[in-house]
Structure 1
Amino acid sequence: MPSMLNLMFSSRIFTPRIRFRGFRRGIHSFSSQRTMAPGLARKYEINADMGEGFGRWKMGPDEELMPLIDAANIACGFHAGDPSIMLKTIRLCKKHGVKAGAHPGLQDLFGFGRRKIEVDTGDMYAMILYQVGALKAMLDAEGVELSHIKPHGELFFYMQRDKAIMKAVLDACAIFKVPVYACQNPEQEAMCGEMGIPFQGEVYVDVDYSPEGKLVPVSQSQQVNPELCRTRALGATMTDNGLDMNGSEFSFGFKGKPFSICLHSDVPTVLENARAVRKVVDEANRAKFPSV
């Protein structure tokens, strides 16, 4: 009799390159006239990737971090997370009044969703529906609204490299009628606009930017500390500018619009980083958005 491990790895669930021909037509048939739910930031906010443990393995200090943030991006089981952790994280959001969003990723538990994996567009569409749909069912059970969707790690970079993948992901996101969060980039913002999806631009303070003003993968970024995060948050909120990995200044291009600042919960100093950024965000909101 074959072992359970052999059965698992021979199953189609672990072969995301299988083509589901029926999906390809469906991807392009969705109307760009969908009415999307409101949910964009009305002032500066902090979001963090949460629920990224698995089984008995814990990743970040979710319980301590949750009171310091405004929006949680909840892992949906592909790059991290499992059903019990997803439900626990939703309940933490509910307890602390934090917006609950979906954080779908590539099917890569071993690599934490940060490795390059080639996926067919039809499979990608199905994978995003599957992950966000699972979280949405749990949110419904807890009486919590789905706030937003934010693609995780390598999935974000894959979308930037391949516009067909970007469209497949956004076609799936459009079903849920909520904003999509992403590092500020004109290409994705434009495609979201064409599809009627609200785009929420982000600034990353614990990851580096390239000389072109593009986000750099976590593995290629310098180690951060609370003071560096504070300085980056201050520059973004006060001047709309950031510093690239060479120390040169560039503009984020928000032009006065509120944005979300992302923190990674797997960074060792995340709690100290969050406290430092929280002070900057609260002070900036009092100065720039006093009536919100």
Structure 2
Amino acid sequence: MNSQLTGTADTNSKYLKKYEIVCDLGEGYGRYTVAPDEEIMKIIDVANIACGFHGGDYNIMRRMVKLAKKFNVKVGSHPGFPDRMGFGRRKWDISPEEVYNMVIYQTGALKAFLETEGMKLNHIKPHGELYFYVERNKEIMKAVLTAAKNLNVPVVGAKNKDYARMAEQMGVDFIQELYVDIDWTVDGKLVPVAESRTKNPQIIHDTILKAGWTDSITSLDNKKVTLNFGPNPFLLCLHSDFSDALENIKVARKAIDLLNQKK
């Protein structure tokens, strides 16, 4: 069986001239750290910065922004549910209005830190369960896109025809990404972290090259999934909170650089 992911990639070509690596950072709290943020920041092209709800705080946010400026990394907001204990990965019953308010609140805080450093907000990308909730519920999807529209920035998300279509209808640019350190189902749906297999660096390296060279990936049950990105480059995303995150990202950097050399 060969499943296909659908959804336009036109806006990707507007923002991406090459394949780029994106990572979620700044997800610690106070003296607690989740990832080697500075080491990762040196390697990546784009950072999604936690904004204080599922992780992060005002000190961490400022430090992440300053690091991003130092290493010339683009910054997007990474708003999530106010659920530190569950790391923003547990289901919440929440209204579209409250989702809109949460996204504006968190993104606004990060935007202020960026402006003090002379930087611009690159995009909004929901975190964890909010990322999945957007794909399940069109009212939640609309709430996130409305926040992005009012802040005049793109949204980053998984390849999804409904998401891409609604973004286009609302006049919001939609930048599509591919997670390479967790699994996909045969019908092209992302598997939540808690349900996904752990991927070692070699698998991640091979997944990236396969995605770029064949426009496909292998599903959780070993079936081919066609991505339909065509010749357009796209974002390749990895988590920073995995035990092998730094090694995963180093290997991903090598694979992505190889893809860009072959373009």
- The TM tier, using the shorter chain, reads over 0.9
Q: 1:85-104 to 2 correspondence within 5 Å?
A: 85-104=60-79
**Paired residue type of 1:264:** H
User: Structure 1, residues 87-132: CA drift from partner, whole Å, max 9, x if none?
Assistant: 0000110010000110011111111000000111111111111000
Q: How far 1:187 sits from its partner (Å)?
A: 1.3
Q: How far 1:176 sits from its partner (Å)?
A: 1.8
Q: How far 1:39 sits from its partner (Å)?
A: 6.7
Does the alignment pair 1:197 with 2:197? Answer: no
**Paired residue type of 2:103:** I
RMSD: 1.3
Q: What 5-or-longer segments of structure 2 have no aligned partner?
A: 1-10
User: Structure 1, residues 180-216: CA drift from partner, whole Å, max 9, x if none?
Assistant: 1111111111111111111111111111001111101
User: Structure 1, residues 37-59: CA drift from partner, whole Å, max 9, x if none?
Assistant: x9722210000000000111100
Measure the CA separation in 2 of the matches of 1:198 and 1:258. 15
Q: Runs ≥4 in structure 1, deviation > 6 angstroms?
A: none
Measure the CA separation in 2 of the matches of 1:90 and 1:39. 24
Does the alignment pair 1:107 with 2:82? Answer: yes
Measure the CA separation in 2 of the matches of 1:169 and 1:118. 16
Does the alignment pair 1:170 with 2:164? Answer: no
The SS at the match of 1:175 is: helix
Compared CA separation, residues 88 and 39, structure 1 to 2 (3 A): farther
The SS at the match of 1:140 is: helix
Equivalent in the alignment of 1:66: 41
Does the alignment pair 1:221 with 2:196? Answer: yes
Equivalent in the alignment of 1:143: 118
Match among 97, 102, 110 for residue 127 of structure 1: 102
Q: Taking structure 1 as the reference length, what is the TM-score of the superposition?
A: 0.84
Q: Taking structure 2 as the reference length, what is the TM-score of the superposition?
A: 0.93
Q: Equivalent pairs: percent with the same residue?
A: 47
Compared CA separation, residues 52 and 121, structure 1 to 2 (3 A): same
Measure the CA separation in 2 of the matches of 1:195 and 1:186. 14
Does the alignment pair 1:279 with 2:262? Answer: no
Equivalent in the alignment of 1:118: 93
Does the alignment pair 1:206 with 2:174? Answer: no
Q: How many residues get paired?
A: 252
Indicate the structure (1 or 2) with the bigger Cα radius of gyration: 1
Q: Is the 8 A contact 1:39 1:178 kept in 2?
A: no
Measure the CA separation in 2 of the matches of 1:179 and 1:283. 27
Measure the CA separation in 2 of the matches of 1:139 and 1:71. 14
Match among 243, 249, 252 for residue 218 of structure 2: 243
Q: Which has the higher contact order (CA 8 A, sep 6+)?
A: 2
Compared CA separation, residues 133 and 39, structure 1 to 2 (3 A): farther
**Paired residue type of 1:146:** L
Measure the CA separation in 2 of the matches of 1:54 and 1:224. 26
Measure the CA separation in 2 of the matches of 1:54 and 1:173. 26
Does the alignment pair 1:83 with 2:58? Answer: yes
Equivalent in the alignment of 2:8: none
Measure the CA separation in 2 of the matches of 1:187 and 1:54. 35
Measure the CA separation in 2 of the matches of 1:122 and 1:271. 37
Q: Is the 8 A contact 1:103 1:152 kept in 2?
A: yes
Q: 1:246-257 to 2 correspondence within 5 Å?
A: 246-257=221-232
Q: Is the 8 A contact 1:51 1:80 kept in 2?
A: yes
The SS at the match of 1:53 is: coil
User: Structure 1, residues 126-149: CA drift from partner, whole Å, max 9, x if none?
Assistant: 111100001001111111111111
